Amino acid sequence: MIPVIEKLREHSVESCFNLSAFKKCWDIWKADITERLSGQVTADGILNLGDCLSAIFSQTGEAGRGQGELSAGGYGWEGLINWYLNFVMLGSNVVALRNIGSLPEPLRDAMTVNYGNFQSNTESDITIMVLPKVNNDSEELVDLNAFTRNHFNEFELGIIQSKTNWKDNAQTPMLWSMIYQATGFSDNTLTIGKNNFSISDLNKFSYSFVTVPSNKNALNYSPHNTPVNRVRNLTGGNYWGHPTKSGIANSLKEIFNHYRNGFTPDVRQSLDRALTGQSISYFRLT
């Protein structure tokens, strides 16, 4: 029996290939990824792709227009990030989901923002879910909604906004993160959660921003630039598909530190074990 979280992971990765912006560029990205892996899929090799995802993505950006005139926009970047996150998380209790509707209902309820009697959810491109460390084949997990209700305060949740442009998109995650971090509002017109589920009752909740960035001058940002400061204090961190630049952005490969509770005993060993015991065919590297 395939653990329920691996079914969710496979479905999430397959959903990337249903995105036209991802699907039409995949052959070019796959060739680049395969070359960087030197033909060997290892934990270190997959993890370190986080340092060069922007370069891979840019093969079908402006610099890659000579390769079949393909161009991948925001949905392509979202798909590539989701593909990468799930590959590193293979075999763990952590899964990245593109569709917020794939989350158990109690978690969707907990994220709901109520403005008066109007209900809304954050602009979430990818949601990270960390399941409690229980036997994933247990009878409890036959009904994931019921399991989530029964173990709600053991779950961890992370929201990721994945945008190609940094300057034009940094304000949105800043504002959403401020809303989720707020402990209360003076007139009580804005509240978080419904059906008595709230992010404050989760084991952990975080908000992150991941960018290419497509605005080239962003690579020369200083710690004093406004876009940098807008995402400096996000609870889940600020990332890009380049090596870490202190005071500016972390490599995406560093994001897994926020979800370490879902890996046994750590990210590399968890992935190494999965690579020897699980199928990776749905990642379509061959």
Q: What is the pLDDT of residue 185?
A: 55
Q: What is the pLDDT of residue 195?
A: 94
Q: Report which of residues 178 and 273 the model is more confident about.
A: 273
Average pLDDT, the chain: 89
pTM of the complete model = 0.92
What domain range includes position 35?
Answer: 4-283
Q: What is the pLDDT of residue 145?
A: 93
**Separation CA 12–CA 78 (nearest Å):** 12
**Separation CA 124–CA 103 (nearest Å):** 12
Residues 150-208 have pLDDT tens digits of 999 999 999 999 999 998 888 888 988 888 887 655 566 778 899 999 999 999 999 99
Q: Name residues whose C-beta falls within 8 Å of residue 142's C-beta, 6 or more positions apart in sequence.
A: none
Nearest CA to 98 among 178, 28, 18? 18
7, pLDDT greater than 70: yes
59, pLDDT greater than 50: yes
**Separation CA 209–CA 19 (nearest Å):** 21
Q: Are 7 and 90 in contact (CB under 8 A)?
A: no
Packed helices 4-16 and 74-88: angle between N→C axes, nearest 10 degrees = 150
Q: Are 238 and 83 in contact (CB under 8 A)?
A: no
Residue 206's beta-bridge partner residues? 158
Q: Structural domain tally of the chain? A: 1
Q: What is the pLDDT of residue 66?
A: 40
64, pLDDT greater than 70: no
Q: Name residues whose C-beta falls within 8 Å of residue 94's C-beta, 6 or more positions apart in sequence.
A: 128, 129, 130, 131, 256, 259, 262, 263
80, pLDDT greater than 90: yes
Coil/strand/helix, residue 103: coil
In the DSSP assignment, the letter for residue 88 is: H
| 116-to-190, 194, 199 alpha-carbon distances in Å | 6, 12, 19
Nearest CA to 126 among 282, 274, 236, 44? 236
